[in-house]
Amino acid sequence: MSGPAPSEAPSRRFPPRPESVASARRFVRSALSGTAPDVAETAELLAGELVTNAVLHARTEVEVRVDRTADRVHVAVADRRPDRGPVPHSWLPYAGTGRGLKLLEELSAIHGVRIGDNGKTVWFELWPDKPVPPSSPWDAVPSPGRTVTVTLIDLPYALHAAAQQHRESLLRELALLSFGPAAHDLPGDLARQELLTALDTSNLISACTTAAVQEEAPDSSTLCLRSAFPADAGPAVAALRLTLDLADSAAQQGALLTLPALPQVRSFCGWLFDQIVGQLSGGPPTAWTLFPHAPSASSTELAPWDAADVEASNVPTIAADDGNRIIAVNAAAAHLLGWQPDDLVGRRLTVLIPEHLRDRHAAAFGSLLLTGQPRILGRSIPLPALHRDGRLIPIRLRIQTQEALDGRTVFVAQLGARTAPAAPPGGDHTGHHAIRPQPGPSHPPAVRTRARAAGNPCTDDATLNRLSLLVDATSALTSTLDLTEGLHRVCRVLTRQLAQWCVVELLGEHERVERVCVVHRTPEALKPGVRLGALPPMSEETGGPLPRVLRGAGPLRLADVSSSGRLGSPLDESQEELFRQLGARTAIIAPLRARREVLGALTLVRGRDDPPFTDEDLPLVTDLVRGIALGVDNARLHEHTRRTSERMQRALLPHLPDVDHLELVARYAPSGADAQIGGDWFDAFVLPKGDTALVIGDVTGHDLQSAVAMSQLRNLLRGIAVDRQEPPAEVVHRFDLACHTLYPHATATCVYAVVKGPEGGPWELRHSSAGHPPPLLTTEQGDTRYLDAGAGPLIGLDPDLPRVTADDPLPPRSTLLMFTDGLIERRGESFGDAMTRLRQHTAALARAPLDVFCDELVLGLGTDTTDDIALLALRTPPPG
């Protein structure tokens, strides 16, 4: 729009020295004397930024020209370096460098660059009294000659932004050092010319990648960039890498006013430089997701940090910035430590650290920032946390780093409780969630600007449809505890509204891939031969779209699935075969990621008769997979907790003794309704006189405390029974008295029985019951009766209440069954009917082998129970 300024406009030349910046600012201030103060100050600021860039990057004589008219101010900064044009940066609020051109874009009315044979001129205009037009784009810089396209696959955008910011900060510090009196002290005897080459090469990489990002699809945590680099840039990139290594070492020693790189940044820079140098030499590209990372830079942690991930996690999680301040916390972590989430945000992390560990924390955190060397990142460390009331809470701490798109590194800590946590404070806390500070843009800023410029407003109907789809998908997954069925329901929702086909693959241990469902919008359209179940494993050579997503990339849009070609890997071939079977035209493959771990992939497919997927579909898919992944993670956590609970419950149950003349079988079946552990128990042991003791019991409650109480009471009863060997009523009385003294708040039911008799019979059962269902005796002929003569009050009610011992004969080949109420109780059925039903079952099984007898009871009566089942069965031998 504007040509060169008039020749009579005041101008001045400055040498390429740091002090020229201040001199240029004074010159602009003087030239604009009498202009409105805000206009003059803005012009002075912007001119200083342009002169700084010229001194650092052009390193030639700088000319500043100022032209003032009645309605505008025109400032131009010229240098003699036409081969390196301006490199605009994304707006990163926390960046220490790279803001100059962004300030120019934001504050000037128009701006641009003119490049000639002998130099370039960057100019801007301020219009104080006129409407400000849209900011003008930067003019294209001529191509530097022959180029080679470098492909950067699965580049993590947030980590790329952080690495670029750190690289430029290091080089800026070296450049400032080279201008000062201590220039000879550059680290590692680095020559000034080598530093200048490194500066130019860093600008080249920034320019190439920034241009490539402008063409990339939005709303993906990873990008696949194709950047044109000068064909002869390989040696310069290698020199840049060496310069940065020397600078990083100097930063670790405190010789520069910037911090060294953290492990994930260092690992990423190594990959980036290897890709550029290797591909310029003719080598093939290697995806970031396939690159051997540093231990604390996992390839699955590609998503930019988002406070919403902390809020959504079921695991107690706290996020802090590099200033040691808490910036996000979920309700689980806050309640574990006795806080409300909004009370913690903004506080120093030390508020949660015991006083005796604060110095060690400060030393470790400072060491990480000052040396870049991790000590505990990625490791699970047992230590105490400080509760708000002053108590110490034993936890296991695991810290990982994650990059934010605004240039910050965020430290995300997961707190695993090593003991049962305190219950949340009273009252309804359902409205308390993690405070969500603005984490920066959720996708590349350049893409967001382009999307706004394109002007694609959403109608109210489109917004409602989008929200409706998200709600329907979430409801479908949470409507059942069965993960596979839930995923089928989600896919049916998605095929009705978004895709023709929907496929879900889940990632298991050792990178096993399992295809759990394939759903078509018309159920009968599913063709035979579509493979479900285990797929070929991933390997280092597996580089197709699905394994890339399973390693953390994506979501990936496949514009034409038929053009991808075979990649040779069995897993890639399996995916291509599926696309052929489904008649796929376009597809989107998105990772199911939760708690910084990839759980699987969702594939949406459209056929030839459907409109193809476009980039506008990616934001919706990104939101969908976030909710689906959370549901998958919750289902897996529930299943894992349930299995852990079962293993713990079984570990608490005893092994039955080997009694020659009696047959003993026990069964324990946990409730399928939840993942807790309960207080049901059985026990059998031989007393010192040779009699066999049998116990069945149930501690009130269905949680960890009841399971612990069960174990304690079981061992207490064992000790009393072995020590006293008194009638069962007296043993139960002493047991009740001990419980009342040692566990005053515990209540339980139990039956304590002793089987007496010689090896050949006859046998007698002596027992006493404490509020428990009576034993059931079933003869070989199928006659049944409950042995209810020894009934008494439950344990923990009143130890002074009387108890009785019942004596009953045990006929040969008879079966004695002792059980907990989970075997018989059903909602809507009377206790009497339930007892009758049990008698009918045992009568039908009277002559079955004892293990079959027990298994059939559990199968026949335990399928609809909402409580745990414990049973203990004894069978006497035939006479003689």
Here the CATH number for the domain that contains residue 549 is 3.30.450.40
- Domain end residue (candidates: 417, 443, 475): 417
- Residue 41 belongs to a domain: yes
3-state SS class at 689 = coil
Token pair 């890639």 is found at 572
Provide CB contacts within 8 A for 201, sequence distance 6+.
233, 236, 237, 239, 240
User: What's 326's domain CATH number?
Assistant: 3.30.450.20
Q: What pLDDT score was predicted for residue 794?
A: 92
Provide CB contacts within 8 A for 621, sequence distance 6+.
555, 588, 590, 602, 604
Q: Are residues 261 and 364 in the same domain?
A: no
Query: Across the strands, what pairs with 780?
Result: none
Q: What pLDDT score was predicted for residue 271?
A: 92
Cis amide linkage into residue 762, ω under 30° from 0: yes
- Residue 134 belongs to a domain: no
- Residue 173 belongs to a domain: yes
Provide CB contacts within 8 A for 107, sequence distance 6+.
42, 45, 46, 126
Apex CA 865: angle with CA 859 and CA 869, to 5°?
A: 70
Spatial separation of the C-alpha atoms in residues 437 and 307, rounded to whole Å: 7
- Residue 452 belongs to a domain: no
Q: What pLDDT score was predicted for residue 767?
A: 97
How far is residue 754 CA from its own chain's centroid? 54
Residue-wise pLDDT for 383-425, tens only, equals 788 999 988 888 878 888 888 777 678 888 888 755 433 334 3
Q: Are residues 576 and 543 in the same domain?
A: yes
How far is residue 642 CA from its own chain's centroid? 21
Q: Around 125, how many Cα atoms within 13 Å sit in the side-chain half-sphere?
A: 25
Spatial separation of the C-alpha atoms in residues 384 and 365, rounded to whole Å: 17
Q: Are residues 607 and 660 in the same domain?
A: no
- Domain end residue (candidates: 96, 126, 156): 126
3-state SS class at 512 = coil
- Residue 351 belongs to a domain: yes
Q: Are residues 258 and 322 in the same domain?
A: no
Apex CA 553: angle with CA 550 and CA 556, to 5°?
A: 100
From 282, 277, 285, select the one nearest 234 (Cα to Cα).
277
Provide CB contacts within 8 A for 241, sequence distance 6+.
269, 270, 273
From 671, 738, 733, select the one nearest 707 (Cα to Cα).
671
What is the count of structural domains for the chain?
5
Q: Are residues 748 and 781 in the same domain?
A: yes
From 445, 425, 505, 359, select the one nearest 93 (Cα to Cα).
445
Spatial separation of the C-alpha atoms in residues 667 and 681, rounded to whole Å: 10
Spatial separation of the C-alpha atoms in residues 209 and 279, rounded to whole Å: 15
Residue-wise pLDDT for 667-719, tens only, equals 887 765 444 556 788 999 999 989 999 999 988 765 656 667 777 888 899 99
Nearest-10 crossing angle of helices 483-497, 460-478: 160
Q: What pLDDT score was predicted for residue 850?
A: 93
Mean pLDDT of the chain: 81
Residue type, 306: D
Q: Is pTM, for the whole model, over 0.85?
A: no
Q: Are residues 160 and 203 in the same domain?
A: yes
- Residue 2 belongs to a domain: no
Note the residue count of the chain: 880
Distances (CA, A) of 396 to 383, 385, 393, 415, 639: 6, 9, 10, 6, 21
Q: Are residues 842 and 711 in the same domain?
A: yes
Ranges of the chain with pLDDT below 70: 1-8, 88-99, 129-144, 180-185, 188-189, 215-221, 292-303, 378, 407, 417-464, 523-529, 540-543, 563-568, 642, 644-646, 648-652, 671-678, 701-707, 863-866, 880
Q: What pLDDT score was predicted for residue 649?
A: 61
- Domain end residue (candidates: 417, 437, 470): 417
713: exposed, middle or buried (Cβ count in 10 Å: 0-12, 13-18, 19+): buried
Q: Are residues 216 and 108 in the same domain?
A: no
Spatial separation of the C-alpha atoms in residues 519 and 282, rounded to whole Å: 43
* Contact (CB, 8 A) for 759 and 798: no
Provide CB contacts within 8 A for 840, sequence distance 6+.
none
> What tokens were used for 350?
């030390």
Q: Around 832, how many Cα atoms within 13 Å sit in the side-chain half-sphere?
A: 0
Token pair 């006479």 is found at 879
Q: Are residues 525 and 661 in the same domain?
A: no
3-state SS class at 303 = coil
Q: Are residues 659 and 637 in the same domain?
A: no
Q: Are residues 810 and 726 in the same domain?
A: yes
- Residue 410 belongs to a domain: yes
Token pair 């979501």 is found at 555
- Residue 136 belongs to a domain: no
How far is residue 245 CA from its own chain's centroid? 31
- Report strand pairing: 11-14 vs 692-699: unpaired
Q: Are residues 689 and 824 in the same domain?
A: yes
Domain containing 739 equals 653-875
